[in-house]
Structures are given as C-alpha cells and as structure tokens.
A and B are shown apart, each in its own frame.
Chain A
Amino acid sequence: MEQVNQGVRENVYPQAAQAFGRTLRQAVINAATPAAAVLVALACGAALLWLNGFDGSDVVTVMIFGSFQDMRSVGEILLKATPLILIGAGLCVAFRCSIWNIGAEGQLYAGAIAATLVGTNFDGLSVWVHAPLVMLAGALAGAAWAGIAGYLKVRFQASEIVTTIMLNYIALILTSYLVTGPMRDASAAYPQSARLIREAWTPRIVSDMRLHIGIIVAVVLAVALYIFLQRSSRGFSLRVVGLNPYAARYAGMQVARNVMIAMCISGAMAGLAGAFEVAGVTHRLYQNISPGYGFEGIAVALLAGNNPLAAIVSGGLFATLRSGSEVLQITSQVPQVLVLIIQGIVILSVVAFTRLRDIRRIVA
C-alpha cells in the first residue's frame, strides 16, 4: 500500500496524487468484501423475516434508513456507535496479535463498575478533573480485567477464549451483586447504584441531545490505534506475534509482553466504553447497562478486517442496524434479536469472502 519512494523528483504533487489514487483504489477493493458481506446478511435477514410471516422488505427500509429521521435520531445512532467503535477498535489490536479476547462484555462491566465508584465519590472536584478521572478509571479497570486473562494465558497457557468468557459471567454476576448489595441506591425501587455526581458526567456535545464527547474520543482512539499498529515498532511486533509467535520469539520479540499489551489495550477500550455508558448515558450503574456491545464489538472488528480505522465505519454501521432493529420492533413487532442473527451472518460472510478472495489470489 505505501509506496517506497526512491528517486528524488522535483515535483512531488503528481506523485502524491497518484499515491492517493492508488490508496483510494485499494480502499475500494478492501471495502468490497465487507460491503458484500453486509448485503448477504441483510438478504438473509429479509428472507428470515419473510419466511416467518413478517414483511421482508422492512430489513432494508427500516433497519438501514428507519433510524435516520432527524438530528436527534442520528445522535442516538452515534451514541450507540461510541461503545461499538471503542470495543471494535480495541479488539482489532487483540485479534491482530491472535489473542481471542471474547471478554469485551465483561471488561465493559468492569469499566462501568470502576467508573461508578469514582463517579459517585470524590465530591467537589471540577468537571475538568472528575470526568476524565472517571474515563481513566474505566479504562484501567477494563485493562485489569482483561489482564487477568492475559496473565493466565502467559503464565499458565490457559486458553483466553475460555477465561475471557468466564470472566464475562463473573463480571455480570459481580455487577448484579453490587447493585443489589453494597452499591445499591436504597431509595430506588429497582436495583441500581446512586446517581453519579454531575461533575463526573461525560460532557454532552449539544446540551439537548444525549450524544456525548465519547464519540469523539472513540474516533480519535481508533485512529491512534491504527497508527500504533501500522507505524510503531511495538505495533509491528504485535502483528508478528499474531502471524507467527515462533518467528517472533526467534527474532527476539517478547511474546508474553506483546500478548499482555494486546490484551490490556483491548480491555482498556472496552472498559472505557463501559465508563461512557455509565457516565455519559445512564448516570447510574444497572445490571444490564450493555445490550451485548462486547459481543457485537467482535463482529465490528471482524467486519473491519481487524483494522481500527475501518472499525469506525463498521461500528457506525452496526449502530445503525441496532437502532433500526429497535424501530422495527416497535413498528412491526419483529424481535430485536434479529440484529444478533445479522451479526452472525456478517461474520460468516466476511470470512467466506475473504477466503475466496485469497484463494483466487493464490491461483492467479
């Protein structure tokens, strides 16, 4: 993709334009696979609806366009895109290192718990201190929760697939314990924590919309992770470990440290997503603050081809589908879990198309 530039030319602009054109063409080729995958998934979703007596054409009209009604509904989509971009971009780093972190959901909850602890205490801090502190707490807790699985893998060769999933259940149970027990707001009928102090809330972008600055943070971090993976030497060694740990060890790279870093980065992103859910959206901790963002993030990362930059787009797309499925449930009583089916089919189509493309490339 990047061009190795050797000869010195006086006029670099045409060259830059050429390089840009090449990059653009490459981007279009790269986008063809995920685009086809999404189309296949939507077609399957439409077929499923039609087979079960719903109106199949709703999949396109409502799921894609249904949630674009006004600025507010676009804001709601971006609000849903925030955790998906954060988690998806973080998982890109883990997956590139061949670390199968399936535990973003638990890491999100760990982040939400920590954010609630920090956000309900430390009264009297200014918003400039308290709000970032809450985000930091969330990210650290998420990284620590993922770090457990990372450590168990590095130290005991325990499969991170199983440990991260078990840590999901444990984090959910822990949250349920906290909001029904020690952190419960006694005055509320429903199990929930106390409300976060106002200075701890994530600032909103426009005062009358729920959308908060988390979306900006998510996009900036996704770009940063892209640069980290593609341009830094640590990012390079992460990718080498992912491709071939033996070669990486032979080249003198510290495999264990890279595994820990990849795990903790993805955990920190999920934890930050949890902090934003609490500090930016609900302002309280509940048992079910996430509708499965941690699992959806896996689909976001895979659709993005494990590229954090592309995760911004795929996160936005999944957020659109999720908002659309909510509209669909209200207008046509189609169960909202349809979105899980579409996620599953998107992943299957992506891997199938990618494989087929690779096979063609090898044969050609």
Chain B
Amino acid sequence: MDDMMFLTFLATLAGAAWRLATPLIFASIGEIFSERAGVLNIGLEGTMLVGAFCGFAAAFATGSIPLGLLAGIAGGMLFGAIFAFFTITIKADQIVVGAALNLLGMGLTAFLFRTYYVSTGKGIEIAQPVQIPFLSDIPFLGEAFFRQNLIVYSTVLVAILASLVLFRTSFGLTLRAVGEHPKAVDVAGRDVASYRYAAVLVGTGLAGLGGAFLTLGHSNQFVEGITSGRGFIALAVVVFARWSPIGAFFVSLLFGLFYALQLMLQAQASIVVPYQVLQALPYIMTIVTLVVVRGKGAAPSKLGQPYEMR
C-alpha cells in the first residue's frame, strides 16, 4: 500500500472510530453521572437496548430522527426510573437489579420487535452526514472529522457539558458528595435519594441516546441484541477514564478504534488472521484495560452502596 492509500485508510479509520465510539461516549458519560452519585448501574446494556428500540420505533412511525432520539432518551429514562426505584427507594442490591434489567431489556425489545416489526422487514432513513463548510475540505482530516452526522458531533458538546455540570456547578458538587459522603449531604439538609434519582435518570437518558444512535445514526434497523455488549464495555470505559467525562470521551474513541479496525481489517482480503480474532478485539481490550488501569482509587467511595438514614 502506498503512502496516499495509507493516509486515506487512516482517515477513514479515524472517522469510523469516532462514529463507533459515539454510543460508548454517551453511555459511559451517563454511567459516570450515576456512579459519581454512588449508583452502579450494570443494567446499562439493557437500557441501551431499550433506547435503540424506542428510537427505532419512533422513527419508524414518524419518519423523524429528532423524535426518534427523544424517544430513545425517554425510553432509557423510563428504564432508569425502574432501576432507581428498586435500588434507591427499595434499596435492593444494585448488581442484582442491573442484571434483571439487562434480561428485561433484552427480552422486551426482542419480544416487541418480533411481534410488530420483524415481518415488515423495513428499515428507516438514518441521520445523514453534515459537511462542515471549509473544514470538510481539508484533505484527510476533513474526511475523518468533519463529515459526520450531527449525533456524532454532539458527543463533543455532551462531554464538555457533562464535565462542566459535574465539576463547575453546585448540583455537580452535591451529586459527587452523594457518592463520596452521603451522610454529609444528608446532614446539610439535602435529600440524598433525589440526587441519586437525578443522577440515574441523567445517566440512563444518555445510555438511551447511545442506544438510539445505533439504530438512527449507524444501522438503519433494529436487531435483537444490537448493542452487543457495548453497555458492559462502557462500564470498563468509566473505570479507565477514572470517572471523568472528558476522559471517557477519549477512552471511548480508543474503543471505537478497536471496533473500526475490526471492521476495516475484515474487509481487507490480504489479512491472514481469522476474522474472529478481530471480532474479539474490543472484548479482549476491555479486559486488558481493566488489568492495566487499576482504577479502584478513583472510584466514588460509596459506589454500589444504598444509603441508609440512621
């Protein structure tokens, strides 16, 4: 491969990496909100599936992508409300409830899809790339970064906004305090439970958005289990990013790169490794990430623990 071709390959790779990172960026930033408030939501996978399905169903009915995205967020938050009710109000074990919601999300979306949509066999019109004037004409860089759809661009905004909210507002400060020292928040007269509810709802709304991107901005169809583990990979992204939204943006990009490499290398006939090795790449890298980055120290100290008022 000559230099020009290689540069084109890199540009396409970078563009694909960002696109494939998008659902992870939304989901992991959402999970950061929730975990910063002390709530570990391993039901992210099921939540993303619900978002993907709701987004698809709404766009299918109305033909509108913005409405689809809103439906994805709403679906995620509805699922989040169930999670919050069980873990915060009833104070049930967060891991058990998360595992149940994963089953429920998988089951419900597959059930409804098979009942109403599978026989239609029709897809939807997905979000089209928007070329940014001038910038998109830059050789290679333009191809990679300035010819994406609006959902992909919005990840930058979400990461910055999330970071500002978490670290520069009093809401963010209280939210983080709820995860570190809920008793202090309680004594200061603020309601721990409502902050946790807010954190979970923001988190699952973003996870729903990440799921909706899969059907509205990436593939034009809902497929059973379309998230294929992204909800779990997002959990590892959070650890790697040390619970920072900006960090999660870049770590997700890294994982997006693994996905993109897998897709692009599969298309290369000259590659000798079996395609399954490439397929396993994101999963293997997730494990490697957890081993290399021992992020326990940065975790919110009350992560996973219900708050009992005494």
Assuming the contacts A298-B99, A299-B103, A337-B106, asked whether A174 and B111 have C-beta atoms less than 8 A apart, the reply is no
List, in ascending order, chain B residues with CB within 8 A of A345's CB.
100, 104
Q: Is B276 an interface residue (CB 8 A)?
A: yes
Assuming the contacts A100-B95, A339-B107, A344-B103, asked whether A169 and B280 have C-beta atoms less than 8 A apart, the reply is yes
State in angstroms the CA–CA spacing of A352 and B290 once bound together.
Answer: 32
Q: Are the CB atoms of A156 and B294 closer together than 8 Å?
A: yes
Q: Are the CB atoms of B274 and A177 closer together than 8 Å?
A: yes
For the complex, count residues of B whose C-beta is within 8 A of A: 46
Q: Which of B5-13, B162-170, B187-195, B232-240 contacts A (4 or more CB under 8 A)?
A: B232-240
Q: Which of B54-62, B69-77, B84-92, B214-222 contacts A (4 or more CB under 8 A)?
A: B84-92
List residues of A (144-185) whose CB comes within 8 Å of B's CBs.
152, 156-159, 161-163, 165-167, 169-170, 173-174, 176-177, 181
Q: Is A221 an interface residue (CB 8 A)?
A: no
State in angstroms the CA–CA spacing of A158 and B115 once bound together.
Answer: 40
State in angstroms the CA–CA spacing of A174 and B274 once bound together.
Answer: 11
Q: Are the CB atoms of A351 and B114 closer together than 8 Å?
A: no
Q: Are the CB atoms of A181 and B99 closer together than 8 Å?
A: no
Q: Which of B129-137, B171-179, B197-205, B281-289 contacts A (4 or more CB under 8 A)?
A: B281-289
- Majority SS of interface residues in chain B? helix
Q: Are the CB atoms of B287 and A167 closer together than 8 Å?
A: yes
Q: Are the CB atoms of B115 and A159 closer together than 8 Å?
A: no
Q: Is B110 an interface residue (CB 8 A)?
A: yes
Q: Are the CB atoms of B90 and A158 closer together than 8 Å?
A: no
Q: Are the CB atoms of B107 and A337 closer together than 8 Å?
A: yes
Assuming the contacts A169-B283, A347-B99, A348-B86, asked whether A157 and B110 have C-beta atoms less than 8 A apart, the reply is no
- Majority SS of interface residues in chain A? helix
Q: Is B296 an interface residue (CB 8 A)?
A: yes
State in angstroms the CA–CA spacing of A165 and B107 once bound together.
Answer: 18
Q: Is A3 an interface residue (CB 8 A)?
A: no
* Chain B min CB distance to A347 (Å): 4
Q: Interface readout for B95-120 with A: 1 if CB under 8 Å, 0 if not?
A: 11101111111111011101100000
Q: Are the CB atoms of A161 and B42 closer together than 8 Å?
A: yes
State in angstroms the CA–CA spacing of A295 and B102 once bound together.
Answer: 10
List, in ascending order, chain A residues with CB within 8 A of B99's CB.
102, 298, 347
* Chain B min CB distance to A203 (Å): 34
List, in ascending order, chain B residues with CB within 8 A of A161's CB.
42, 95, 232, 235
Q: Are the CB atoms of B90 and A355 closer together than 8 Å?
A: yes
* Chain A min CB distance to B308 (Å): 10
Q: Are the CB atoms of A341 and B290 closer together than 8 Å?
A: no
Q: Are the CB atoms of A170 and B280 closer together than 8 Å?
A: yes
Assuming the contacts A340-B104, A348-B100, A356-B90, asked whether A158 and B114 have C-beta atoms less than 8 A apart, the reply is no
* Chain A min CB distance to B35 (Å): 12
Q: Is A69 an interface residue (CB 8 A)?
A: no
State in angstroms the CA–CA spacing of A167 and B239 once bound together.
Answer: 18
State in angstroms the CA–CA spacing of A352 and B89 once bound together.
Answer: 10
Assuming the contacts A299-B103, A348-B97, asked whether A337 and B110 have C-beta atoms less than 8 A apart, the reply is yes
Q: Interface readout for B264-305 with A: 1 if CB under 8 Å, 0 if not?
A: 000000000010110110011011001100101000000000
Q: Is B139 an interface residue (CB 8 A)?
A: no
List, in ascending order, chain B residues with CB within 8 A of A343's CB.
100, 103, 107
Give the residue of A177, A337, A340, A341 whose beta carbon is less than 8 angstroms from that of B276: A177
State in angstroms the CA–CA spacing of A341 and B114 once bound together.
Answer: 14
Q: Is B229 an interface residue (CB 8 A)?
A: yes
Closest to A161 in B: B42
* Chain A min CB distance to B260 (Å): 18
* Chain B min CB distance to A162 (Å): 5
Q: Are the CB atoms of B86 and A352 closer together than 8 Å?
A: yes
Closest to B99 in A: A298
Q: Is A187 an interface residue (CB 8 A)?
A: no
Q: Is A132 an interface residue (CB 8 A)?
A: no
Q: Are the CB atoms of B229 and A344 closer together than 8 Å?
A: no
Q: Is A52 an interface residue (CB 8 A)?
A: yes
State in angstroms the CA–CA spacing of A339 and B283 once bound together.
Answer: 27
Most chain A CB within a 10 A radius of its CB, from B100, B103, B287: B103
State in angstroms the CA–CA spacing of A355 and B92 once bound together.
Answer: 6
State in angstroms the CA–CA spacing of A48 and B108 once bound together.
Answer: 9
* Chain B min CB distance to A21 (Å): 32
Assuming the contacts A166-B232, A170-B283, A298-B99, asked whether A158 and B290 have C-beta atoms less than 8 A apart, the reply is yes
State in angstroms the CA–CA spacing of A339 and B114 once bound together.
Answer: 14
Q: Is A338 an interface residue (CB 8 A)?
A: yes
16 contacts between A and B (CB under 8 A): A157-B296, A162-B290, A174-B276, A295-B103, A337-B110, A338-B111, A344-B100, A344-B101, A344-B103, A344-B105, A347-B97, A347-B103, A348-B100, A348-B101, A351-B96, A356-B90
Listed from nearest, the 3 A-B pairs whose CB atoms lie closest are A340-B107, A344-B104, A347-B100
- Give 4 A-B pairs besides A166-B233, A338-B107 with Cβ atoms closer than 8 angstroms: A170-B280, A295-B103, A341-B108, A352-B90
